[in-house]
Amino acid sequence: MSDFFQSGVVATFHRLKKYDLSEFEADLAEFGANKGITLVLPSLYSEIHGPGLKGIVEELKQVNYLREIVLTLGPADKKQFNEVKQFFSQLPQKVSILWNNGPRFQAIYDDFAKYDLDAGPDGKGRSTWMAYGYILAQKDSRVIALHDCDIITYSRDMLGWLIYPVASTKLDYEFCKGYYSRITSKMHGRVTRLFVTPLVRALMKVCGNMDILNYFNSFRYILAGEFSMTTELARINRIPADWGLEVGVLAEIYRNCSLPRICQVELCDNYEHKHQELSAEDKSKGLNKMAIDIAKSVFRTLASEGVIYNDGFFTTLRIAYQREAEDLITKFRGDATINGLDYDKHEEEVAIGVFSKAIMTAAETILDDPLGPPMIPNWTRVFSAIPDIEYQLSDAVQLDNQD
């Protein structure tokens, strides 16, 4: 993308020209030797049979700067866990697989409960958090990168670009968020395009000039699941357990990291992964549930910044959101037309209607229960509460991977 424009309060790094991948990775190998870089892959068992993860593994075989790959596995029985181990044994790097619902990890969760530590329900949030705890327990990495396992268009330079700003000894960043476009014959990324972006801009109108809203509005793809950070941040950040994960992580980064140490980087020309249904009639599924969870996360974040809510606030917000979203539809339609993409204006309008209702559903929850379920605590607190947790985590992972 021939664009070097800087907007907002977060530094933006673009892919301005072609480059020599071997030289780029040689730099990363030098950085990795100095700092130690670990890649976290949150995965479901089913993804080892999908096209995304197979392609990712083939690309990762050529990466030589990772100290370790940590695969943090969703629900799986013993047979499935062993199948996942066999699948990842083809990688040349050290691979550690976290069997999050295995008996050894279940014993750890039971221990958490004794100390009144809530690790949240089974899901991506908890799986990611447990991976961070394991990496911190090893004490041999200073940089953690994370990306999903369903990326169809994955290439190893995406990982390099994601890691470089945080790992580089030539730069001074503590957190890096990936961004990209999601295009096939049409525009994708509906929750980002039609919900989060207009919601944040509507909140800027209703709440006024708030630093955290300017911060959110600076990200080009706020819901991107790819980011890298220092282990120091991984230690002190809390994590939401629901679909508010990406927004919740950004809120924690805002709280714990100075803005000049935060950046976003363009990972690729085009990004493709699985698409979810809108689920217009079911608030418990698909993009509908995602929008509700994200809205609750945003509203609770703003409440912590001093915003006071009432019924009138959310009614005004809903109207402002719809206007922002409708204005964006006009822009997206023009962008699609000039690029020869299919664009279904009716389909986009339907999505906005669903997302508008999601705002009110989230509002009802916030007014009824402003605090909501607690976020997963940070690892500083866990290490303080359970002094031997580092050994428990290390032993559980080692023994599970040896069995």
What's the structural domain count of the chain?
1
pLDDT at 371: 82
Alpha-carbon gap, residue 159 to 29, rounded angstroms: 13
Structure tokens of 251? 């809120």
Q: Are 167 and 143 in contact (CB under 8 A)?
A: yes
**Structural domain range at position 260:** 11-402
pLDDT at 280: 87
Is position 229 within any domain?
yes
Is position 3 within any domain?
no
Alpha-carbon gap, residue 299 to 207, rounded angstroms: 11
pLDDT at 242: 63
Is position 80 within any domain?
yes
Does pTM surpass 0.85?
A: yes
Mean pLDDT of the chain: 94
Is position 5 within any domain?
no
**Domain with 187 in it: what CATH number?**
3.90.550.10
Q: Are 103 and 78 in contact (CB under 8 A)?
A: no
Alpha-carbon gap, residue 165 to 179, rounded angstroms: 14
Which of 176, 163, 128 lies closest to 35 in space, CA to CA? Answer: 163
Is position 267 within any domain?
yes
Alpha-carbon gap, residue 3 to 98, rounded angstroms: 40
Is position 4 within any domain?
no
Q: Which residues of the chain have pLDDT under 70?
A: 1-2, 241-244, 273
pLDDT at 253: 97
pLDDT at 21: 92
Is position 215 within any domain?
yes
pLDDT one-digit tens code per residue, 338-357:
999 999 999 999 999 999 99
pLDDT at 379: 98
Is position 345 within any domain?
yes
pLDDT at 2: 58
